[in-house]
Amino acid sequence: MATGPNDINDQPEEPQGNGQQPEGAETGGLDQELDEILAQAEVDLDSLPLDEQVRLLKTRLEKSQSETADQLDAAQRAQAEMANFKRRTDDDRIANSKYANSRLISNILPVLEELDLATGHAEKQAEGQTAGNASLLEGIKLIQRKLTGVLESEGVAAIEGVGLMFNPLEHEAVGTEESTEIEPGYITQILRPGFRLHDRVIRPAQVMVARAPQE
């Protein structure tokens, strides 16, 4: 019996390949799609089966817990950053208040040095002085002591030198000299006094450093 074109077209076509997804994968895809739909829409829980209600509530609870944990972590980080910023600000404020007058003090130090030189020179010429000159010298010494007291009250202290090991952070070596009494590398004399303001050097001391005698 001959077959026509219609008979051939009426035969079902064979599917290419399996064409069927695993049951588990299909179920998982549907569950995920359902979760996304329910999460984006306002769903009436009463209209859903009990197991769907439980699953939806569990999903929402896990999402809320995750968001809460993220927000708590962000809040703790912000609080820690604020505490660090406050501490740095307080440190800067304290440092600025301690060293705010360092420039003024640095300008006053040469005046104190000149007074020291003047009183030292006057004391060397003390013999034969009149009463007026002696009184003038005592007045200069009084000014010197008061000025020194004001600087000390502001946290200024002289840098020690003679007999100590040379410290490049506090001392400026002007030269060296042979010494049998002081070990090499130690300071023999101070040519210009140095000062520190609290724990900061505002002017290094100019010193001479001992070296070993040449044989």
Q: What is the pLDDT of residue 209?
A: 94
The answer as to whether 123 is a domain residue is: yes
Longest dimension (CA), the chain: 159
Beta bridge partners of 205: 171
Q: Side-chain half-sphere of 108: how many Cα atoms within 13 Å?
A: 17
Total Cβ atoms within 10 A of residue 186 = 18
Which amino acid makes up residue 177?
E
Q: What is the pLDDT of residue 15?
A: 46
Q: Where among 135, 154, 173 does a domain terminate? A: 154
Q: Where among 66, 84, 100 does a domain terminate? A: 100
**Residue 89 sits in which domain range?**
41-100
Q: How far is residue 135's CA from residue 143's CA, in Å, rounded to a whole number?
A: 13
Q: Where among 154, 176, 196 does a domain terminate? A: 154
The answer as to whether 28 is a domain residue is: no
Question: And the tokens for 124?
Answer: 């060397």
Q: What is the pLDDT of residue 122?
A: 74
Residues 107 and 93 grouped into a single domain: no
> Residue 171's domain is classified under what CATH number?
2.30.22.10
Q: What is the pLDDT of residue 39?
A: 57
Residues 142 and 180 grouped into a single domain: no
Residues 130 and 166 grouped into a single domain: no
| Virtual torsion, Cα 207, 211, 213, 214, nearest 10 deg | -120
Which amino acid makes up residue 62?
E
Residues 164 and 196 grouped into a single domain: yes
Residues 93 and 119 grouped into a single domain: no
Q: What is the pLDDT of residue 135?
A: 76
Burial, 206: exposed, middle or buried (Cβ in 10 Å; 0-12, 13-18, 19+)? Answer: middle
The answer as to whether 138 is a domain residue is: yes
Residues 80 and 45 grouped into a single domain: yes
Residues 149 and 202 grouped into a single domain: no
Residue spans of the chain under pLDDT 50: 1-9, 11-12, 14-15, 17-19, 24
Domain count, the chain: 3
Residues 77 and 96 grouped into a single domain: yes
Q: What is the pLDDT of residue 204?
A: 93
Which amino acid makes up residue 32?
Q
- Coil, strand or helix at 200: strand
Q: At what angle do helices 102-124 and 131-153 cross, to 10 degrees?
A: 150
Beta strands across the sheet bearing 187-192: 171-178, 205-211, 187-192
